[in-house]
Structure 1
Amino acid sequence: MDISIQRLFTFLFSGFAIVPAILSSFCGNNKIPYGIEVYKNGQPSLLCSKPSCFEKTYADCDERAIRSSCDSNTSWVGGFDKGLGSFQPLYVQCCEFENLPALTDPLYSSVIIRPGEYFEGEELTDKYGDDVLSFDLITNIKMIRDDVNSTIAYKIDVRRFHCNRLVRPKHYKPSTWP
């Protein structure tokens, strides 16, 4: 085989190995999605974080992205999987956290993010910048058709998580018995 053809095949097949990593984005069960970026080609990417007040808090996430949306008031988007092309659906991984309604307030509903745009939530800290007081998280995402630009876009819902409402378990002293 000619060297230039072999290089071309190597380049093409190495490019295909990268594609699945670009088509999905996951935060995991101990991080939260605070933002989303939609590339010019319409491919979304989640921005994930682990705020300091959320360090020892975990959610029960779906094993993989299998739902069309996370409509429950006790869930947020843990990740998504998007097929190649604008005709493919967006499947989301939902993370359940039963105390979410008590710890959060609705902030934004139905925010549209188009190709080339991004949304980034806030993280509010105390006056010294040491302790996180609240942060924003994306609770739902849906792929929609943007008829104005003949492209796809994403509609997100955002809630504000208040750290001071999070009840920490009490630390017990070890027993000295017997």
Structure 2
Amino acid sequence: MFLDSHKQQPGRKRPVIQATLLAAAIAACLSGGQALAYTSEDGSTQVNGFVENATYSRRNVGLSKMRNTVLIEGSKDYGEQGAFSNVSFVGAFRATYDGVYDLNDDEFGENAGGAINMQSVGGAGSTAWGQSDISTGVLGFGFDTTENPNEGMVNLGHALHDTDGGVGLGVPVRPCD
């Protein structure tokens, strides 16, 4: 058996025990919802970690951010190893989940927004964003319909007020790839 063939030297921790303690520290970080730290008896192994949730809600929008983060940092000092005077291993693991894109997929993410019209004070009542009253091809105005910029847009402030002849801005709300 593996453990029988590798006899333990006095003063050294068993690798199985350290691995078990590391797994227990990670599990405690994930389940406890708070910070956790572990340091071995000889101080050569350290593990720190935390779980965090940030949730924000905006009036007239609803859930605007919901991010869960797990951070686990660890270090192991091996001391002098051959020609090297101080050998250590340091690592960090960070995982995040942005739930707002799943929970509010009509407001944020790939399905957010759509095509919008903007008021045209000097011409037609409204035109599609990116177009003008002058048609495509006349003096180079307009846009290429195969690369439609009028996707994933909202009128800035649309949840609060109408433009009513004032200044209106089109804002992209889909992620840029």
The two structures have a TM-score, normalised by structure 2, of 0.25
Higher relative contact order (CA 8 A, sep 6+): 1
Structure label with greater radius of gyration: 2
The two structures have a TM-score, normalised by structure 1, of 0.25
